[in-house]
Each structure stands twice: as structure tokens, then as C-alpha cells.
Amino acid sequence: MTCCKHMIAFIVSLSIAMISLPTFSDELPLIKISDRMPYAKGIKVPEKVRTECELESKLAKHVKSYLEKNRFKVSVIHGDGIKHSGQFLDVRMIGVHGDDFGSWESGGGSMVVIKAEFNQNGKTIDTFSFYRKSNRRFQGICGLLENCVKTLGKDISGWLVRINPPPPGDETSSKEETSFEEDLSD
């Protein structure tokens, strides 16, 4: 009978201990991002790129997607440049080049340069600049530039994994290494 009492006491104490253990989902970092990742003030961006390509929202969409693939929780905030409590990622496009060789539809060499700033409770933790270029033909400028911002979303996520890794988890996590100077040419 004493053995059963000890066994029951052990099971009860183990159950209580397991209830108090945090789960991986409780430990995932929550990163706030803006719904738009704007052009920095003063940079020259062709009017057609500004009005037709929607790079500000597409960059935010790709950053969010890749952060979630790397198991970060993401909260999308309306507006840009707002300092928030907790972890906040501020991303700005500081350079956009679209060389269409004289024709909007033909597509040519294109490049997007961004600066990312990772803040925690209003304090800058790390900053980094990334760029991507693409010279695929016959996609048009918006298609070329979207290739750049999509890959930049992956780059930013990879950078955040390195400086603020999520907790270890299952093997389905996709921590993707990137080369920041990779050319997206065919």
C-alpha cells in the first residue's frame, strides 16, 4: 500500500510540474512589423514603380511570410516608423533601381536596397542593410522588383533568426540560410 501512495504522489507531482512547463508556442518571440515597409524619405523612385508595383506592401507581406516559416509570431501594425514596446522590426527601402532599357514592359536590371532595424522596447538591438538585384528578362519592372523584395523578405527573416533565434522545435522548422549578395539572374 505504501508503494501505491508513493506512486500516486509521484504522478500528482509530475502532473503539476508538466502543467507549469512552458510550451514552445508560449516561447516563440512576437515581432511587430508594419503593414507597409516604405521608401526612405528623399530617395528617387520612378513614379510607375511607386504607383503600380506596390513594393511597400509586398515587402511587408514577404517579411511576414518568411518570419512565420521560421516560427516567429508576427503582429502586423498599421502605419510605419512607430516605435512600439516589445520587439519591433522597422524596414525601409533606401534604394530602388529599375532599368527597363527604354520600355516599361521589357524588363531589365533591377535592384532594391533596404535597411532593417530591430528594436526591443524602443531600443535598437541591431541594424543591417541588404540588397537584391535581378536581371531576368520579359517580366516587366514590377515582376523583377517583386523578385527582389521576396528574396529580401527571406534575407530579413534569416538575419532575425541569427540575432534572435526562436526556441528549438520540431524538424519541420525552416531556418533558411541566405547569401546577401546573391544575384537573382537566370
Q: What are the pLDDT digits (tens) for 61-75?
A: 999 999 999 989 999
Answer yes or no: is 20 within a domain. no
Answer yes or no: is 22 within a domain. no
Q: Which of 151, 159, 143, 157 is nearest to 183 (CA)?
A: 151
Answer yes or no: is 46 within a domain. yes
Answer yes or no: is 11 within a domain. no
Q: How far is 178 from 158, CA to CA, in rounded Å? A: 7
Q: How far is 112 from 133, CA to CA, in rounded Å? A: 7
- Identify whether the C-beta of residue 59 lies closer than 8 Å to the C-beta of residue 33: no
Question: How high is the pLDDT of residue 181?
Answer: 43
Burial class (CB in 10 A: 0-12, 13-18, 19+), 19: exposed
Question: How high is the pLDDT of residue 164?
Answer: 77
**Residue 6: all three cell numbers together:** 508513493
pTM to 2 decimal places: 0.71
Question: How high is the pLDDT of residue 98?
Answer: 76
What range does the domain containing 75 cover?
A: 27-163
Q: How far is 83 from 123, CA to CA, in rounded Å? A: 9
Answer yes or no: is 184 within a domain. no
What is the gyration radius of the CA atoms in the chain, in angstroms? 22
Answer yes or no: is 66 within a domain. yes
Question: How high is the pLDDT of residue 9?
Answer: 60
- Listed in sequence order, the DSSP H helices in 70-172 are 140-163
Question: How high is the pLDDT of residue 94?
Answer: 96
Q: Which of 59, 66, 72 is nearest to 32 (CA)?
A: 72
Question: How high is the pLDDT of residue 54?
Answer: 94
Question: How high is the pLDDT of residue 2?
Answer: 59
Q: Which of 186, 137, 133 is nearest to 155 (CA)?
A: 133
Cα atoms in the Cβ-side hemisphere of radius 13 Å centred on 14: 6
- CATH number, domain of 98, equals 3.40.50.10610
Q: How far is 60 from 75, CA to CA, in rounded Å? A: 11
Residues in the chain where the model's pLDDT stays below 70? 1-28, 79-84, 99-108, 137-138, 166-186
Answer yes or no: is 3 within a domain. no
The total number of structural domains that make up the chain: 1
pLDDT tens track for 23-69: 444 456 789 999 999 999 999 988 888 889 999 999 999 999 999 99
Question: How high is the pLDDT of residue 130?
Answer: 92
Q: Which residue reads 533568426 in cell numbers? A: 161
Answer yes or no: is 149 within a domain. yes
Which DSSP symbol is given to 104?
T
Q: How far is 147 from 61, CA to CA, in rounded Å? A: 13
B/e letters for 146-165, b = 16+ CB within 10 Å, e = fewer, are bbbbbbbbbbbbbbbbeebe
Question: How high is the pLDDT of residue 75?
Answer: 92
